[in-house]
Amino acid sequence: KKGLDQFGSYQDTLSKLHGGRAVTAYLDLEPFMKLAMDQASTWQSLTADEKAVVEAIQAVGLGLSFEPNGLRLEMLLTADANKLPLGQLGALQGASNANKLLQTVPDSTFLYIGGEKLSTFFDSFLQSLQAADPSIASSLRTFERQANIDLSNDLFNWMTGEFTLVGMPGAIGSSAGQIPFGIALLVTPSDKQLAETNADKFFHAVADQAKLKIDDMSVSGATLHALLDTSGNPTLVYGILNDNFILALSQDAVKRIGSASSSPLAGDATFKAATAPLPSGNGGYFYLTPKPMVDLLTLGLTFSGQDCPACDLLKPVRAIASASEQPPVEANVFRAVMFVLLDTGQ
């Protein structure tokens, strides 16, 4: 019998991983996929696209390497691209994300989740939500009738460009229960006028039902709109800022984004070091600097008289970043890389 090292799929998969690995893992998925196909009830419950994916995937390779400034984890999936559904194949083999929104958020950003075509995600989410609970579907239809709006066609259909969800220093909530973080969603809309008009229509419907008010506010020369709480304080801000649609849960975050051009995240030394090992052509970055959240958690536990062992483990971690290669450089090979940037004391 042949040893694993002589198995063609094993050799082919591992040869595509980054060299200098300290740990290597391999999983041949074909037996598992065959088992799924042999289970009649399981197989019949799958959609045609899900069956195509099962028949297409072949093996997974993992490689962990130690770099001078951190840990590099690479995951590689091999699959027969000719068997993948056209929609999924198109998404995987689409053009790289331009990642232009990295220039629009400040270097104080500690969480960045980037991608494209948020409209596709929302459509799938709404369909799943409606299938899971008919009462939710009924409530959504009632809201749409009352607001005279179609969530898919009016609110989400213009979210076809780049998007990012970001976290940064700010303040959410009243002074009594304030969270020292700001959260914002930025989307490059296909139509700026349509985005602003339909978002304004949606949030006015929400405000009317909640008996709240919406007021205008000026940020970096742009007129945005703020949903006010019962005390008259802005709780949510939305509108067009620097050609992008923004939805933020912090007035502070909006102001930081409005002035980010002088010191954007794209130019931050920590961000560049954490993302340097990642594929340059990708579908969008995930980036996290854990220190702000670790500090908050440690403070909270200290006040309650508790320790946080996990917090101590995360202290040497300067940042965590990941990205999936897009489009694939090699045929039938889909790659993702995660890098943990460590404080080496240098």
- Centroid of chain to Cα 82: 28
Q: What is the CA radius of gyration of the chain?
A: 23
At residue 316's C-alpha, the angle toward residues 314 and 320, to 5°, is 70
CA distances from 310 to 215, 274, 294, 301 (A): 43, 21, 9, 12
Strands, E assignment, the chain: 23-28, 57-67, 70-79, 111-116, 162-172, 179-187, 213-219, 222-228, 234-241, 244-248, 286-288, 317-324, 333-342
At residue 96's C-alpha, the angle toward residues 29 and 263, to 5°, is 120
Write the DSSP assignment of 77-143 as a string of letters.
EEE-GGGS-HHHHHHHTSPPP--GGGGTSBTT--EEEEEE-HHHHHHHHHHHHHHH-HHHHHHHHHH
pLDDT tens series, the chain, 346 aa: 556 666 667 888 888 888 889 999 988 887 877 776 677 666 777 777 777 877 888 889 999 999 999 999 999 998 888 887 766 666 667 789 999 999 999 999 999 999 999 988 887 777 777 777 778 878 888 888 887 888 888 888 899 999 999 999 876 554 445 667 889 999 999 999 999 999 998 899 889 888 899 999 999 899 999 999 888 888 899 999 999 999 998 788 899 999 998 999 999 999 999 999 999 999 999 999 998 888 877 777 777 777 777 777 888 999 999 999 998 888 888 999 999 999 987 5
CA distances from 33 to 26, 47, 61, 100 (A): 16, 15, 16, 39
